[in-house]
Each structure stands twice: as structure tokens, then as C-alpha cells.
Amino acid sequence: MKLVIDENIVQAREAFKDFGETTFLNGREITNDVLLDADVLIVRSITKVNEGLLKNTKVKFVGTATIGTDHIDQDYLQKNNIAFSSAAGCNSYSVTEYVFSAITHFANKYNFNISDKSIGVVGYGNIGTKIVKIAKTLGMTVVINDPPLERKSKENIFSSLEEALGCDIVTFHVPLNKDGIDKTVRLLNEKNINLIKDNAILINSSRGPVVCNKILKERLEKKNNIHAVLDVWETEPNFDSELFELLEIGTPHIAGYSFEGKLNGTKIIYDALSDFLKTEKTWKPLLERVKNNRINILDNETEAEFFQKLFNKSYNIMDDDLSMRKSIGMSDAEKSKHFDSLRKNYRKRRELNNFKVVLDSDNEKLKTLLNVLRIEVN
């Protein structure tokens, strides 16, 4: 059996070595010629899996170690009896922490209490539910928008997109649907961009085309009154440099790039391939303990100061913004190469559940929040 695997999938060499002959390539270098004698294809989001890639190959199993599936032509796979698995939910905590790291940055920069803000969560899946849980624990006003889920649910918890866009903070967590009643391509567009109020925080860590980059750039050029955060881009890796320079925070599609998130993705696809081949699951991920993982919290600290201590230890979003800003002045080719390089060589970022907080008082409200954040209290 021959497997072709994206070289950037964490611990893939250890996970898949016993299945057969393995070939590891950059995701953009996986072509039809490479796959002609392959049986299994395992990718990340940069490889477009469709008829052009798979025609006349022997591939019978496709896995993507990502939560998104818009790069996969699932209709083609189904019609050609090719098994498929994605890693849904694998990096949901990572993206959630990315969002709150961004909010923490703004809370400290502009001196506001996070709990005083309203947050519009567009998409109530694996990520959106976690963001809502933390936001409610903080005491934020929460507005949830998810039309397909609303149609299925009996819960009266959903609001319109317009209501969500009117919040102090708006964050997108939807799949990329290119058509139909739940189309999400350019969900934020020329018709509703002005529903985003002055000084609101806008975060897109879902898919690039969910926010119309051209319209957002025009709004920022005219008023420059949105605190915008983009992790995903319409034309990545060749992102819009002019838009990037107008943002307060821009990152290279790494919101879900915690080490745990990546490793979860590998394990989910490993399990799926094992099930497909009916083989025993013998591989276990290797997860090292985080050293120097204690964080001291004082009772008189503000919410923003508290969160800043957490994210200074675990994940400071501004480190990724700074790395991406090194692309300013580069040619399109250099810029795209820099974008891919930042993703390929991304540091080992660990999630909050690896850290322990030492409290100087018996603060039950803070303990409840730390529990929701999956942080042990000492």
C-alpha cells in the first residue's frame, strides 16, 4: 500500500509508517502524477482534492487533518467510491484561544472590561459553542447566529445575522458554503458591512471568502474605525497587502495551529484510516509536558490583566502579527512564500489546559472561569 501525505501533518511519520510505503510532500506539490499509484491521500487545507487531482489514480481513501472541507470535492469522492474523513473539531480549543487572545489585546490597548461587551458569534459549531460558553461565564451579552442549526434546534437561542453584526465584537466560525440558502461566501459584504458599528472588533478565523476582503478594505480606507482581525484571506497565500496594513491584527491562517490541535487532527485521521482498513489502532500521540507552566494571579487584577497573563504564557496573538508584518514591501511571490513558510515552520504553541494558575485568594467566580478555560487551579 502506498500513502501520500502532507509533510506538515504533525507526527504523521510515526502515525502512518506501519500502513505501507509513505511519501511526504509539501501540500502544494501533491499532483495527479504523484498519486497515480497511491492508495491513500492525507492532506491539509492547501491541497485541492478533486477530479483533476485524483483522476486515473488508485486512491481509495482521502483524509484531511483539518476541520474545514471546502478544499475537498466530496461529491466526486462519493461518486467514485472513495472513502473520506475530516478532523472535525480537532483544533476548536486552539481557535477559541486565538479569539480571546485577540480580544484580550484590545481590552488592554483600549482599556475596557471584556465582560461589559456584547459578542456576536456567527456559527455555533465546535468553536462557536466554546466561545459562547466562555463569554457567558464572563457575563458578556451573547448573540448567536446559525441558521442551519436554528432550523434543526428546538432551543430559542438564535438571532439574526443582522443582530450579531451589531455587537461590540463579531467573530465568524462558519464553514465555506458556496451556494444554497446557507451560503457563507462573502457573508459579510457591501450590503451589511455598515452594520458593523464604529470601534467594533471584527474577527474572521473561519474561511477567507466569508468576509469580502474588498469591501472590508473599502470600509477601513474610508473610516478606519473597525478593530479588524483576519487570520484567513480570500486569495491566500497571496493575500491583499493593502488590506493587511489596514488591520490591527493579521495572521497567516494559524488560529487552529496549536500543537494539540494539529496532533488531534493526525489522530482522528489515523483512527479513520485504521477503521477503513480494519486494522488495530496501535499508535498513540506523543505530547510532552509543558515546563514552567505556573501562572500567578492576584485577586485585584482586571479581567484584561488576568487574560494577558494567561496568553503571555500560552499564546500571544501579536507574535504572529509581528511575524506576518515582515512581509510588508515584499513582492507577491515573496509574500506568498513568506505566508507558507510561517505556517510550515510554526512554533510549538500549547493550549491553556497545559497551564496551572496559582490564586492568592479564594475567588469562586475566577475558579469557575478557569474551569471553563480548562486550567488547573493550585
**Helix or strand holding residue 51 (H, E):** helix 51-54
Give the model's pLDDT for residue 28: 93
Nearest CA among 225, 332, 350 for reference residue 292: 350
List of domains in the chain:
2-86+258-277 (3.40.50.720), 92-250 (3.40.50.720), 294-377 (3.30.1370.170)
Give the model's pLDDT for residue 114: 97
Give the model's pLDDT for residue 175: 94
User: What gap in Å lies between CA 83 and CA 64, rounded to an integer?
Assistant: 12
Q: What is the pTM of this model?
A: 0.94
Give the model's pLDDT for residue 106: 98
Percentage of residues of the chain with pLDDT beyond 70:
100
* Residues classed as catalytic: 207, 236, 253
Using DSSP's 3-state secondary structure scheme, residue 101 falls into helix
User: What gap in Å lies between CA 63 and CA 275, rounded to an integer?
Assistant: 12
| Continuous H helices in 236-316 | 241-246, 259-277, 303-313
Cell numbers for 164: 450579531
User: What gap in Å lies between CA 208 and CA 194, rounded to an integer?
Assistant: 19
Using DSSP's 3-state secondary structure scheme, residue 197 falls into coil
* Residue 284 CB coordination number (10 Å): 11
Q: Is 110 exposed, middle or buried (0-12, 13-18, 19+ CB in 10 A)?
A: exposed
- What contacts 180, CB < 8 A, 6 or more positions away? none
Q: What pLDDT tens digit does each residue of the chain (378 aa) get?
A: 999 999 999 999 999 999 999 999 999 999 999 999 999 999 999 999 999 999 999 999 999 999 989 999 999 999 999 999 999 999 999 999 999 999 999 999 999 999 999 999 999 999 999 999 999 999 999 999 999 999 999 889 999 999 999 999 999 999 999 999 999 999 999 999 999 999 999 999 999 999 999 999 999 999 889 999 999 999 999 999 999 999 999 999 999 999 999 999 999 999 999 999 999 999 999 999 999 999 999 888 889 999 999 999 999 999 999 999 999 999 999 999 999 999 999 999 999 999 999 998 888 889 999 999 999 998
Give the model's pLDDT for residue 206: 97
- What contacts 305, CB < 8 A, 6 or more positions away? 108
